């Protein structure tokens, strides 16, 4: 039998989605929890659709200063830094955007933000953007001319195309257009929990054909029966593994660690969340990052190979990063 703690400790555990919005509280505590849980890399959502280009640039600079102040963390925009940080017992932190509105409608800003450290970006977040329709847009209109140009430029500069929160038609068109592996950074199979935010078997299969990845999300809304247990989390891993193989699975927990604050915002509907969320308040519960150790142990019991487990925990994402990042 594999040594459970040894396998977990040796793995470079990557979480592709940690919300890092300006108003979030308890930021010091959550990063310390990831560090103590021996994660190797966490990608912070440093851009959201309500922030303009200038605000976003200034916020990125602030976050970089924050990271630099802590001896246990290192900013990472390349794979070598991530691996070196693991060997030095540090937590590497990267950046991504949840949405593309921060670009201000300028394709040239893809390179600007790549140079600032953005390594994957959603085309849309739930609703229609200049680039694409989100997953809650009834028109399901697909990519705009601007959106197609955006994908071409993302491929060109090395930014990973992220299709979570994106509409079905937009995601399929993006997959067919991209010349590099794409990801759904934090999405679950729609067959296990029916919601517009989860993705179909067709989307999973087409993503895998690009050598892409689906990051399993731990938000109760996207899990069957709002069940955030490690066992149910693994059910989502198993479903995708059976469909396309374990090499196309990663982690995208989307852990809202400022839950009380967030719930107050939800109840006031400050951000115009879809009614689906508001009609299921019991779904605002979250899988905890500390539980990834339990997930690892379940995968061992299910006879997943060491290579596959390390892949799911992080190496699959690093493979895709290597094929995209420059």
Q: pLDDT tens-digit profile of 146-188?
A: 999 999 999 999 999 999 999 999 999 999 999 999 999 999 9
Q: Is the pLDDT of residue 303 over 90?
A: yes
Q: Is the pLDDT of residue 314 over 80?
A: yes
Confidence of residue 2 (pLDDT cuts 50, 70, 90): low
DSSP 8-class letter at 152: H
Look up residue 139 and give its two tokens: 């028109």
Residues of the chain with pLDDT > 90: what percent? 86
pLDDT score of 4: 64
pLDDT score of 318: 98
pLDDT score of 133: 96
State the number of CA atoms in the 13 A half-sphere of 122 facing the CB.
29
Look up residue 279 and give its two tokens: 């009609």
* Cβ atoms of 110 and 61 closer than 8 Å: no
Q: Alpha helices, DSSP H only, in the chain?
A: 4-10, 27-36, 53-68, 79-87, 109-115, 145-157, 168-177, 201-209, 230-244, 259-267, 275-278, 292-301, 306-310, 316-324
pLDDT score of 271: 61
Contacts 24+ apart (CB under 8 A), 111-117: 111/153, 111/157, 112/57, 113/47, 113/56, 113/60, 113/159, 114/157, 114/158, 114/159, 116/57, 116/60, 117/60, 117/64, 117/75, 117/77
Distances (CA, A) of 256 to 96, 260, 285, 309: 16, 9, 9, 25
Spacing of C-alpha 204 from chain mean position: 15
Q: pLDDT tens-digit profile of 202-220?
A: 999 999 999 999 999 999 9
* Cβ atoms of 197 and 222 closer than 8 Å: yes
Query: Which residue's entry shows tokens 């070196």?
Result: 84
Range of the domain at 122: 4-324
pLDDT score of 67: 97
* Cβ atoms of 133 and 139 closer than 8 Å: yes
* Cβ atoms of 161 and 123 closer than 8 Å: yes
Kindly report the number of other CB atoms within 10 A of residue 95's CB atom: 25
Distances (CA, A) of 208 to 148, 182, 273, 322: 20, 8, 29, 16
pLDDT score of 116: 98
Distances (CA, A) of 286 to 39, 48, 282, 289: 18, 20, 11, 9
14-19 and 41-48 strand pairing: parallel
What is the phi/psi pair of residue 216, to 5°? Answer: -70, 130
pLDDT score of 40: 98
Residue range 231-242: mean pLDDT, rounded: 98
What is the phi/psi pair of residue 297, to 5°? Answer: -65, -35
Give the domain CATH number at 317. 3.20.20.140
Residues of the chain with pLDDT > 70: what percent? 98
Q: pLDDT tens-digit profile of 48-106?
A: 777 899 999 999 999 999 999 999 999 999 999 999 999 999 999 999 999 999 999 99
pLDDT score of 265: 74
Number of domain units in the chain:
1
DSSP 8-class letter at 313: I
Average pLDDT over the chain reads: 94
């Amino acid at each position: 039998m594999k040594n459970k703690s040894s396998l977990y400790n040796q793995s470079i555990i990557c979480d592709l989605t940690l919300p890092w919005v300006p108003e979030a509280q308890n930021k010091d505590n959550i990063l310390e929890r990831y560090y103590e849980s021996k994660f190797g890399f966490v990608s912070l959502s440093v851009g959201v659709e309500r922030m303009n280009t200038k605000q976003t640039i200034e916020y990125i600079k602030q976050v970089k200063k924050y990271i630099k102040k802590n001896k246990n963390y290192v900013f990472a925009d390349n794979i070598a830094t991530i691996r070196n940080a693991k060997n030095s017992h540090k937590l590497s932190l990267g950046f991504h955007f949840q949405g593309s509105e921060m670009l201000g409608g300028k394709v040239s800003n893809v390179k600007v933000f790549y140079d600032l450290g953005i390594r994957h970006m959603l085309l849309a977040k739930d609703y229609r953007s200049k680039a694409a329709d989100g997953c809650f847009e009834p028109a399901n209109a697909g990519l705009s001319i601007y959106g197609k140009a955006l994908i071409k430029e993302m491929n060109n500069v090395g930014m990973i195309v992220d299709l979570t929160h994106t509409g079905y038609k937009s995601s399929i068109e993006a997959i067919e257009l991209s010349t590099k592996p794409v990801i759904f950074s934090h999405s679950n199979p729609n067959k296990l929990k029916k919601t517009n935010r989860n993705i179909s078997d067709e989307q999973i299969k087409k993503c895998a054909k690009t050598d892409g990845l689906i990051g399993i999300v731990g938000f109760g809304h996207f899990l069957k029966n709002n069940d955030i247990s490690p066992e149910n989390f693994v059910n989502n891993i198993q479903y995708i593994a059976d469909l396309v193989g374990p090499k196309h699975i990663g982690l995208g927990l989307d852990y809202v660690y400022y839950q009380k604050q967030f719930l107050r915002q939800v109840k006031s509907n400050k951000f115009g969340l879809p009614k689906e969320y508001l009609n299921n308040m019991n779904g605002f519960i979250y899988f905890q990052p500390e539980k990834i150790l339990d997930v690892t142990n379940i995968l061992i019991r299910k006879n997943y190979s060491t290579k596959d487990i390390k892949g799911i925990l992080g190496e699959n994402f690093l493979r895709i990063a290597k094929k995209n990042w420059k």
